[in-house]
């Protein structure tokens, strides 16, 4: 939808040059999904922490992409609930990193300082990386559901 509405596509050189957002990611070192059993807790901590971190990015999108405000608001709420649910699955929930208010404010200020002409690209990058993060999260939760005795 972003690509069609605003001509912001994944092959854009502008996007590649400007992607310095440092968005959360689940990587192989967080637990390869084939050998996930030995990395479950570490991966769940990373997923929950990443979801909490994405909250600031999603709130920025909610403020900026006003035509989709209701959808983004729903996405923010669902992401927060999922982060909390996964946090409770961690052996020591206190180990989940939740950005403090100062960190969130600093990131929010940085995002708001983005020039209007790169705003749409920034939104696209955040949504693209959030989608990738969620795809890996779904895989991890499905795997856990099939290997552990809990319900999600």
pLDDT on residue 85: 93
Q: What is the pLDDT of residues 14-57, one digit of tens each?
A: 554 455 666 777 655 554 444 544 468 888 899 999 999 999 99
pLDDT on residue 1: 53
Separation CA 28–CA 33 (nearest Å): 8
pLDDT confidence of 5, banded at 50, 70, 90? low
pLDDT on residue 52: 96
Separation CA 15–CA 9 (nearest Å): 8
**Structure tokens that stand for 64 in this block:** 């900026």
DSSP secondary-structure letter at 100? -
Across 83-111, average pLDDT: 92
pLDDT on residue 10: 53
Separation CA 152–CA 145 (nearest Å): 7
**Radius of gyration of the chain from its Cα atoms, rounded to whole angstroms:** 16
Find out whether 83 and 55 touch, Cβ atoms under 8 Å.
Answer: yes
Least confident of 29-33, 48-52, 69-73, 109-113: 29-33
Find out whether 2 and 12 touch, Cβ atoms under 8 Å.
Answer: no
What percentage of the chain reaches a pLDDT higher than 90?
39
Separation CA 16–CA 128 (nearest Å): 13
Domains of the chain in sequence order: 36-150 (1.20.1250.10)
Helix and strand numbers, DSSP H then E, in the chain? 6, 0
């Amino acid at each position: 939808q972003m690509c069609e509405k605003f001509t912001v596509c994944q092959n854009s050189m502008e996007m590649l040059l400007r992607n310095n957002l440092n968005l959360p990611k689940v990587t192989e070192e967080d637990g390869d999904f084939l050998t996930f059993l030995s990395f479950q807790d570490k991966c769940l901590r990373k997923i929950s922490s990443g979801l909490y971190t994405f909250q600031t990015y999603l709130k920025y999108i909610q403020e900026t992409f006003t035509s989709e405000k209701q959808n983004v608001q729903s996405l923010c709420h669902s992401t927060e609930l999922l982060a909390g649910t996964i946090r409770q699955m961690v052996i020591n929930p206190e180990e989940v990193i939740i950005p403090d208010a100062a960190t969130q404010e600093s990131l929010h200020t940085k995002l708001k300082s983005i020039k209007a002409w790169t705003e749409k690209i920034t939104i696209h990058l955040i949504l693209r990386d959030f989608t990738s993060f969620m795809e890996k999260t779904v895989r991890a939760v499905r795997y856990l559901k099939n290997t552990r005795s809990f319900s999600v």
